[in-house]
């Protein structure tokens, strides 16, 4: 009877990425123009630096984060309704025999 093959140990790269994930980090790969690469590296470095991370996140969220969800009440309050006639006639329509 053939013996079971022994499982391959994880590669060094896989083990390194597992340790990063356990620390809450995630690998991200992006494609940018050559002149933007130093900027993207600086942003990534600021996000991982404990002294700069909070300020960098706040700055990036203000500029690129999603707009906060607005309620229907907020949207209506912000709508320009100056020239809109919101009155409605009290006509009940025609009489219907059932």
The whole-number average pLDDT for the span 19-34 is 91
Whether residue 90 is contained in a domain is answered as no
CA distance 90 to 82: 22
Q: Write out pLDDT tens, residues 14-26.
A: 999 899 899 888 8
Whether residue 73 is contained in a domain is answered as yes
Number of domains, the chain? 1
Tell me: pLDDT of 82 over 90: no
Q: Write out pLDDT tens, residues 67-77.
A: 888 888 888 88
Total-model pTM: 0.53
Instruction: Give residue 33's Cα distance to chain centre.
Output: 23
Whether residue 95 is contained in a domain is answered as no
Whether residue 65 is contained in a domain is answered as yes
Q: Give the residue numbers spanning the domain of 64.
A: 32-80
Whether residue 96 is contained in a domain is answered as no
CA distance 80 to 25: 46
């Amino acid at each position: 009877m053939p013996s079971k093959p022994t499982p391959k140990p994880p590669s060094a790269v896989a083990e390194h990425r597992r340790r990063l994930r356990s620390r809450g980090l995630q690998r991200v790969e992006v494609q940018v123009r050559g002149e933007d690469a130093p900027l993207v590296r600086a942003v990534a470095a600021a996000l991982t630096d404990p002294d700069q991370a909070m300020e960098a996140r706040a700055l990036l969220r203000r500029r690129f984060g999603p707009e906060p969800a607005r309620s229907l009440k907020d949207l209506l309050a912000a709508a320009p309704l100056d020239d809109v006639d919101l009155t409605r006639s009290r006509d009940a329509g025609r009489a219907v025999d059932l």
